[in-house]
């Protein structure tokens, strides 16, 4: 049995990626362990079922842990009301979500102190993103690095734009230097280039690189 998903298309045309269910289950169990999910938790999931985040960050971890699970399409204008009704202890949101929520009046005064653990990811996390949710009472904001090809969590940073560059998964991660002057290095996972550049001095994600032919590593796996 296997799971086949399309990549997001953030760096090139979306393509199909297939994982065994054993692998997906292992990634989801890593999330359960990292978050400490139990039957006492309440998970609010706004990720579609055709995304890797649904399987390894929110949906499947909720089922494996026995947590209460609520799923909904994301709508910035109704999210605050849904949040107040559910009172989740575990959520995951991305920068685009915050961009949309900031356009609504109900988000401004939303109390999110019931959330003990929040996963952020998908694109570069800024200090403003972290500060916004910390000011609303979120206890831990964890910046998770991963992708459809190598599901999160691979690397994690807590309440910071910085990552611990040592993997929390069973994957082999190394960093290939591309610049000696500013400590930029490309993340290599299980021997394959990701195109993702980290600053190994500041331990922050820098940018995603395109190859000279205009295509990324994702077209070559």
In tens, the pLDDT along 61-107 reads: 999 999 999 999 999 999 999 999 999 999 999 999 999 999 999 99
Summary mean pLDDT of the chain: 86
Radius of gyration over every alpha carbon of the chain, rounded to an integer in angstroms: 17
Q: Tell the residue number behind the tokens 């685009």, with chain if given.
A: 96
Q: What is the dihedral of CA 25, 31, 34, 36, to 10 degrees?
A: -90
Question: Would you state the pLDDT for residue 7?
Answer: 61
Question: Would you state the pLDDT for residue 197?
Answer: 92
Q: Of 196, 203, 155, which Cα lies nearest the Cα of 178?
A: 196
Can you name the residues that pair with 90 across neighbouring β-strands? Answer: 43, 117
Selected residue with higher pLDDT from 126 and 153: 126
Q: pLDDT > 70: what percent of the chain? A: 87
In tens, the pLDDT along 157-187 reads: 999 999 999 988 878 999 999 877 779 999 9
Question: Would you state the pLDDT for residue 4?
Answer: 63
Q: Which two tokens stand for residue 49?
A: 């079922």
C-alpha of 19 from chain center? 18
Q: pLDDT > 90: what percent of the chain? A: 57
Q: Go through the domains of the chain in sequence order and give each one's CATH number.
A: 2-166 (3.40.50.980)
């Amino acid at each position: 049995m296997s799971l086949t998903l399309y990549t997001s298309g953030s760096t090139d045309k979306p393509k199909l990626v297939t994982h065994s269910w054993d692998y997906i289950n292992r990634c989801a169990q890593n999330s359960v362990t990292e978050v400490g999910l139990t039957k006492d938790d309440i998970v609010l999931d706004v990720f579609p079922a055709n995304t890797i985040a649904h399987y390894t960050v929110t949906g499947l971890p909720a089922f494996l842990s026995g947590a209460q699970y609520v799923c909904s399409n994301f709508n910035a204008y109704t999210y605050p009301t849904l949040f107040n009704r559910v009172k989740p202890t575990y959520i995951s949101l991305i920068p685009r979500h915050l961009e949309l929520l900031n356009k609504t009046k109900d988000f401004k005064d939303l109390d999110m102190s019931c959330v003990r653990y929040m996963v952020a990811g998908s694109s570069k996390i800024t200090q403003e993103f972290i500060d916004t949710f910390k000011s609303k009472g979120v206890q831990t904001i964890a910046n998770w690095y991963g992708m459809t090809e190598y599901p999160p969590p691979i690397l994690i940073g807590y309440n910071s734009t910085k990552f611990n560059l040592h993997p929390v998964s069973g994957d082999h991660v190394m960093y290939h230097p591309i610049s000696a002057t500013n400590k930029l290095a490309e993340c290599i996972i299980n021997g394959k280039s990701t195109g993702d550049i980290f600053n190994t001095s500041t331990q922050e994600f820098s940018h995603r690189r395109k190859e000279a032919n205009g295509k990324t590593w994702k077209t070559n796996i």
